[in-house]
Amino acid sequence: MTLNIGVIGCGMIGQDHIRRITDVLAGARVAGVTDPDHDRAAKAAEKPGAKVFDDAQTMIASDEIDALLICSWGPAHEEAILPALEASKPVFCEKPLAPTREACQRIIDAEVKVGRRLIQVGFMRRYDRGYRAMKDALDAREIGAPLIFHSKHRNAEVPADLYTSDMAVSDTMVHDFDVTRYLMGGEITRIRVFHGKKNSKGGDLRDPILAVMELSTGGLATCEVSVNIGYGYDIGAEISGENGVIDIAETNAAVVKNGSAFHGRVPADWRERFITAYDLEIDEWIRAASKGGATGPSAWDGYAITAVSDAGLEAARTGEAVDVRIGEMPDLYA
């Protein structure tokens, strides 16, 4: 069976997912697209030969569409997810699930009402070889219980006119929140955000920032976000445990040695760094959606991360430690 996917939002990541479904992966086709910019949608529809729908609601309701891939901006996610759930159609939703806890709660309530998981959220680091190897080593008890997680998230640069200080938490650090929960288990319960000496390249931007988090397991986590660091897109992760340390490996496949030095490549951006993780993430979603379900990061994960992001934003503004407000996890996500 070929899964007929409808793509909502044909911007940067929407176009990238259309490319991977059309050129890289098997078992699915992009059957429909929609975007407020009709010309953008028409261009995105060309290669897969997809139908251009006037709006998301018509596409969600169409018999020609089996599953939805939501790549619109965060505030538009809920209005697409709820009717997709009504129609019992599997959904892949790019992060964030929704930008407020209240909207995430409405989505969870709707999925719980359906009674089975239909939503997968786009936290692709869980599909990265490095993070998976860290998790395997943890599960094999190679360092005993994990105690402290250190995450580093470094961008070469961000557009000065588009990127705000809040986005360092709500757009960038959310991926680190996700792998903190994925690797360390439990929930992030409290967060404090420090900003010290600024990178002069960012103007008024609070950059870098450092978050310190407390976890429900009793463990701790730190996360540095630096978004104008110049040299490349560099992701770091290290776990200190009772009997050792697990570090994520460098990604360069070869090291060049010359002139009394050695060199390896640092990825230019997140697309290069996580290209195979995105492929695997969408591949696994296609398989689960073809059976009418979902896998990987759930709506509960999306809700929990929005809750941490809310607390992180308040912590960044106030300089205080802020408790994460999170409700009871429904049995569906146990």
46 touching ligand NAP, by CB under 6 A: no
54 touching ligand NAP, by CB under 6 A: no
From 120, 63, 62, select the one nearest 91 (Cα to Cα). 120
Is the backbone peptide bond immediately before 297 cis, with ω within 30 degrees of 0? no
220 touching ligand NAP, by CB under 6 A: no
One symbol per residue from 253 to 272: x for binding ligand NAP (CB under 6 A), - otherwise; what is it? Answer: -----------------x--
Write down the least CB distance from residue 103 to ligand NAP, Å: 13
One residue of 42, 61, 76, 212 binding ligand NAP per CB under 6 A: 76
From 213, 210, 218, select the one nearest 305 (Cα to Cα). 213
151 touching ligand NAP, by CB under 6 A: no
For ligand NAP, which is the closer residue by CB, 179 or 215? Answer: 179
One residue of 8, 68, 107, 248 binding ligand NAP per CB under 6 A: 8
Alpha helices in 185-298 (DSSP H): 270-273, 275-290
37 touching ligand NAP, by CB under 6 A: yes
10 touching ligand NAP, by CB under 6 A: yes
Is the backbone peptide bond immediately before 75 cis, with ω within 30 degrees of 0? no
Q: Which of these ranges, 31-39, 155-163, 201-209, 247-255, lies near ligand NAP under the rule CB under 6 A?
A: 31-39
One residue of 21, 56, 158, 179 binding ligand NAP per CB under 6 A: 56
One residue of 4, 5, 14, 134 binding ligand NAP per CB under 6 A: 14
From 81, 101, 109, 89, select the one nearest 294 (Cα to Cα). 89
DSSP letter at 169 equals I
Please provide the DSSP assignment of 103-165 as one string: HHHHHHHHHHHHTS--EEEE-GGGGSHHHHHHHHHHHTTTTSSEEEEEEEEE-S---TTT--T
User: Nearest residue to ligand NAP, using CB?
Assistant: 11
CA–CA distance, 205 with 160 (Å, rounded to integer): 9
Binding site for ligand NAP (CB under 6 A): 8-14, 34-37, 40, 56, 71-74, 76, 94-95, 122, 124, 270
